[in-house]
Amino acid sequence: MSIHHTQRTDTHHDTATPRWFVPSHHEYTDPPLTDAPPGCHAASGPGGEFTLTASTRSLPRAILTGPVALLWNGMLALPLLMVICTMLTHLHLAPEPVASLALPIPPAITAVMLLFLLPFAGVGLLLATIFFMAAAGSVRLHVRADVATISTGVGPLSLRREFFTPALRSIRIRQAPHAGPGWFSPSIEVATAERTLRFGSGLRADRLEWLCAASRSFLLPNCPSHKAIRRAA
């Protein structure tokens, strides 16, 4: 299968509005394959198959969150491991090497300590996720036949969601109602007849706008519901 890639390699940014920028729901552009910001590219194949990729890599974010994630999880790892080993020992599920790490405390106190540490473990997992996304993450939209797959993550460790392209109604950038101004606030909203999906909240602004505009350019002109909207407009 022949795959064609197009990517912008220069770092110069014009002051004029990019050709791929789509400010409203009723404006449409050509596929933005020749005007992608750094970190974004499109790959197309036979039969209408294509993949849009926008990188979430950010050196400042990785430098900021890396040491914090390492320190937080390093301080938490040993106490959490010992409490988990203690709980497994009380449940008679721990082999001998694991039981040797158990603390001499009763089951009730062990359960309380485990519940106390779980929120801190969640924060550590969040910090680690942000770091890996900033170091090597990406957001991908892959379309094959009538099925589109959204992947967010690092390589095979990605969250995947699918939607049926003929049921597509709109693609746009939307601010979450509960979120204020900030790095993670805007996201791409994909509305279908069955449900609404949001993704790309970790992308830089120009990459988010490119991915939204490219998705609209590829998907909406071939969508029956979109054609009806254009006729009505």
Domain boundaries along the sequence of the chain:
60-134, 141-233
Is residue 199 pLDDT above 80, yes or no? yes
If residue 218 lies in a helix (H) or strand (E), which one and from where to where?
A: helix 205-219
CA 90 to chain centre: 39
**How many percent of the chain have pLDDT more than 90?**
50
Of the pLDDT bands very low, low, confident and very high (cuts 50, 70, 90), residue 176 is: low
**Cβ(202)–Cβ(182) below 8 Å:** no
Question: Which of 126, 123, 113, 130 has its CA nearest to residue 57?
Answer: 130
Helices (H) and strands (E) in the chain, counts: 5, 9
Q: What is the pLDDT of residue 34?
A: 59
In Å, what is the CA distance from 169 to each residue of 20, 120, 144, 194, 231? 20, 40, 18, 10, 14
Instruction: Concatenate the DSSP letters of all residues of 3-28 into one string.
Output: -EEE--------SSPPTT---STT--
Q: Two tokens at 172?
A: 């746009």
Is residue 30 pLDDT above 60, yes or no? no
C-alpha span between 29 and 47 (Å, rounded): 22
pTM of the shown model: 0.71
